[in-house]
Amino acid sequence: MSTLMRWDPFREMTTLRDEMNRLFTRTIGDQPVAKAAAEANWSPPVDVFDTPEAIVLKAELPGLRVEDVDVELDENVLTISGERRFEEKVDDGRAYRLERAYGRFARTMTLPQNVKADEIAATITDGVLEVRVPKADEIRPRKIAVSTATG
């Protein structure tokens, strides 16, 4: 006499996940998860705005301090770089899940030729780095008055 088994569409996915977890554990071996997480590179999201006065970049850098971030300009290439270090300490047990990225990062953007490089300002507020790159007067849009010609 045979028994009827109910079909579970997720059984194969669960089996595949379990196999991947076993493979991942064997590959890493005894290496702590924290060390693997600390060695991963990451790329913070950056928004770029073009205003009449400046080019404004905003990068999400939660948890980073001013000393963890570098902003450099070299031949009109602006680079934001730094490092988020893994500093969590688990006294009893081990980490259950680590989803935040750690390690070095660098984002670059080529700027227009006519910017005021000596007036670039960078500030961090609530985990958001804002870099303001003022435009030179000659590249700012300007209003030109239109008059009528009298004959």
CATH number, domain of 66, equals: 2.60.40.790
Q: Which of 14-18, 38-42, 83-87, 120-124 has the lowest mean pLDDT?
A: 38-42
Q: Is 109 helix (H, G, I), strand (E, B) or coil?
A: strand
Q: Is residue 148 part of a domain?
A: no
The answer to the question of residue 5 being in a domain is no
**Per-residue pLDDT tens for 42-101?**
789 999 999 989 999 999 999 899 999 999 998 889 999 999 887 766 667 777 777 777
pLDDT averaged over the chain? Answer: 79
Burial class of residue 135 (count of CB atoms within 10 Å of its CB; 0-12, 13-18, 19+): buried
Residue 102 domain-assigned (yes or no): yes
| Number of structural domains in the chain | 1
Say what the pTM is.
0.62
Range of the domain at 112: 11-138
pLDDT-based confidence at 30, cuts 50/70/90? very low
Quick check: is 145 in a domain? no
- How far apart, in whole angstroms, are the C-alpha atoms of residue 39 and residue 41? 6
